[in-house]
Amino acid sequence: MTGYLRLQNLVKSYDGKSNAVDDISIDIARGEFVTFLGPSGSGKTTTLLMIAGFEMPSGGSIALDGRDLALSKPYQRNIGMVFQNYALFPHMTARKNVTFPLRMRRFARHEIDGRAAKMLALVGLKSFAERYPRELSGGQQQRVALARGLVFDPDVVLLDEPLGALDKNLREQMQVEIKRIHRELGITMIYVTHDQTEAMTMSDRVAVFNGGRIEQLGSPLEVYNRPVSRFVAEFIGDSNILPGTIDPARPGVIDLAGIGTMRVAGTAIPTGEVDLMIRPERLRLRHNDTAADANLLEMTVGDIINYGDSVLAIGKARGTPLRARLPGALPDNLQPGSVLHLAWSAADAHVLARR
């Protein structure tokens, strides 16, 4: 079964020597929310621009609902685009900015007015319709840009780091708003960001980009708990990466360099030289009720970061750097030099093949 939006072996080279996008294939279902996540220069925005028609592929194909988009102009693709810098016309009111794509597509006047009113209401700006961009906050301007990208019933909406210019609180509010709108309209959305929190909280699936390729594609929980590579493990969330070795004759046991022997669990565990990933929140204080088969560690604390609802203890276990995030308020006796007795279960870690 093919996807609603299908990218096959997509390649983009600007100089004919190196590929900014290197053989990307992905099927996106109708109504799905997929995030392209990765560092700057990883190929995510270039891929988005090729879908929109603003960049031409050097190779491969893009199909939407079975229709080849290779020769279609951007305005022929029925794809909405929302940019980080809003790209609003400063001399037009919010309503006129929203109606612009309808007027360009020669919609009937009565339909233009109705669609604009409905879309401005959807993004919570009904009473701001006659204001100019300079009279709107950053969050309100981004809502106008979102309404403009949705008003003509596009088949797909592309969002290129749309919240990057907003402060933390506004970003969080807009994340909720975009997901609400996605849920209400059921429209296919592709969202580009380098912010892992946005990807984790908003997406049905996340495509992690690295060096022009998709390193991993999966649900937010899959890429967080079961990354396929060290790059994904380190890029998404905080992680402890501990080098070790697994003997093929003992696949459930890992010898961690400098720390000792520990148990691991899972299917298809790699052997030989490996890396063990343990998220800081998976390390917990050892108590009397700690399971008898738990793995045990002692960490000497070097520094402490208090987040209010949790504490991040940074230190070393037998010389190996380690980070543990402990829930709750800062314990009275926790300070640099303290020794934490930590535990973790075999299922809490993930073994990565060494590349």
Residue 2 clears pLDDT 70, i.e. is over it: no
Q: Which of 138, 102, 135, 141 is nearest to 123 (CA)?
A: 141
Percent of the chain with pLDDT over 70: 99
Mean pLDDT of 189-207: 94
Between residues 133 and 3, the one the model is more confident about: 133
Residue 268 clears pLDDT 80, i.e. is over it: yes
- Which pLDDT score, from 0 to 100, does residue 1 have? 45
133 in Cβ contact with 86 (< 8 Å)? yes
Indicate the burial class of 257 (C-beta count within 10 angstroms; 0-12, 13-18, 19 or more): middle
Mean pLDDT of 157-185: 88
CA distance 89 to 236: 36
Confidence category of residue 309, pLDDT binned at 50, 70, 90: confident
State if pTM tops 0.85.
yes
- Please state the φ and ψ torsions of residue 33, each to the nearest 5 degrees: -110, 105
Angle subtended at Cα 62 by Cα 35 and Cα 86, rounded to the nearest 5 degrees: 45
For residue range 39-81, list pLDDT tens digits in order.
999 999 999 999 999 999 999 999 999 999 988 888 889 999 9
Residue 72: which residues within 8 A CB-CB, separation 6 or more? 53
Mean pLDDT of 141-156: 92
Domains and CATH numbers, the chain: 5-230 (3.40.50.300), 238-353 (2.40.50.140)
- Which pLDDT score, from 0 to 100, does residue 303 have? 95
Q: Which of 208, 145, 201, 151 is nearest to 173 (CA)?
A: 201
- Which pLDDT score, from 0 to 100, does residue 174 have? 86
- Which pLDDT score, from 0 to 100, does residue 94 have? 95
- Which pLDDT score, from 0 to 100, does residue 156 have? 96
